[in-house]
Amino acid sequence: MTKTFIHLLILIMLPLYSVADDAASKMSVLAVQSLRVTPYEQAMDGFEKAFSGKIHKILLEENSENHLQEDIKEKNPDLILAMGLSALTQVMTVRHIPVLYLMVLDPPAEAQKARNITGISMSVSPDIQLELVRKILPGVKTIGMLYDPHKSDSFVKLAREAAAKKNFLLLDRPTENPKQMAENFNSMKDRMDLYWMIPDTRLLAGENMELLHILSLENKVPILTFSEKFMEMGSLMSIGIDPLDVGRQGGELAEKIILQPESERTGCGCAEKPVVTVNKKILKKLGIPMNYEDTKDLDMTLKR
């Protein structure tokens, strides 16, 4: 009796799986890539591995804007993938097709407000970042952060929630004028154990990046950054993204957007897989205690 029931169930379910597979195979994406650079290529590779449908690629440096608009009209894809800022800038005026962006550090305000545009940020989830801080730097209790409320408000809200959940005190200061960076940093320097630098490109423009690192070393306040390249300037730790995994996330999200168009989604989600690097020279210079025992299972590099 049981075997007969199982066989009947299999016969009922098989057509459903066949319909789902058929729908997935008919999906189409127009992938617009800004440049042929390694991080974008890795993200595209991850996307291709996760996405079940057809992908038509366009490299912007080999195509004009007019040609791109013609391709969008001709291909009429289910979704447009924008890889990089210039690709997003070229396609964000499209309103009748869903747009998904990857590898964009600071998406334009217009893209963040558009209902048909979503993306995966170049920041790892605040929850994951703070869990890593807890494991690697157990002495950190109070964290300072400066941010432009017009650019980074959504990320800061997530950071506040994660900090409260993990019992960190987050001193976040809205800073609309980049010239106020030093003043606002100094207002927190005696209270914070760590400064959390987020990818707020307006605040980090000009001399502010160098200034932050000078203030860090002068006041012995270590910096957590989002890119390994800033460690050469004096940041203590970097929690960056894995482009291949961001592409994988993008491929899965693209399928969800196409197959479940009514599903709720945020304007921008966070990267899931962290790439951690610690600067041993700065660690020693600032006299910061690090927990080596609880970091053995992490994908972490010690930069000497």
194 with 170, same domain: the answer is yes
User: Residue 155 is part of which domain span?
Assistant: 126-240+274-303
206 and 116 in a common domain: no
- C-alpha to C-alpha distance for 225 and 235, rounded to whole angstroms: 7
> Cα(291)–Cα(137) distance, rounded to whole angstroms?
6
Give CA–CA dist 226/235, Å, rounded. 10
Is residue 98 located within the same domain as residue 167? no
- Which pLDDT does position 104 carry in this prediction? 93
For 273, which DSSP code? S
The reply to whether 203 and 130 lie within a common domain is yes
pLDDT tens for the chain, 304 residues long, are 566 766 666 666 655 544 445 566 789 999 999 999 999 999 999 999 999 999 999 998 776 666 888 889 999 999 999 999 999 999 999 999 999 999 998 888 888 888 899 999 899 999 999 999 999 999 999 999 999 998 888 899 999 999 999 999 999 999 999 999 999 999 999 999 999 999 888 888 888 999 999 999 999 999 999 988 888 889 999 999 999 999 999 999 999 999 988 766 666 789 999 999 999 899 999 998 888 776 766 767 877 6
Q: How far is CA 7 from the centre of its chain?
A: 45
Q: Hey, what's the torsion of the CAs at 82, 161, 133, 118, to 10 degrees?
A: 0
Please tell me whether residues 144 and 226 are part of one structural domain. yes
Helix (H), strand (E) at residue 270? strand 268-271
Alpha carbon distance 255, 114 (integer Å): 20
Same domain, 265 and 293: no
The answer on 292 and 162 residing in a single domain is yes
User: Helix, strand, or coil here: 73?
Assistant: helix
Q: What is the domain count for the chain?
A: 2
Alpha-carbon gap, residue 223 to 230, rounded angstroms = 10
Gap between the Cα atoms of 35 and 47, Å rounded: 16
Report the pLDDT value the prediction gives residue 302, as an integer from 0 to 100. 79
In a shared domain, residues 46 and 170: no
Domain check: are 293 and 155 in the same one? Answer: yes
Q: What is the pLDDT at residue 211?
A: 93
Give the separation between CA 295 and CA 292, rounded to whole angstroms. Answer: 5
The pLDDT value given to residue 204: 87
**Single pTM value for the model:** 0.83
One domain, residues 249 and 230: no
CATH assignment of the domain containing 171? 3.40.50.2300
Claim to verify: residue 145 and residue 250 sit in the same structural domain: no
The SS3 of residue 274 is strand
Residues 32 and 168 in one domain: no
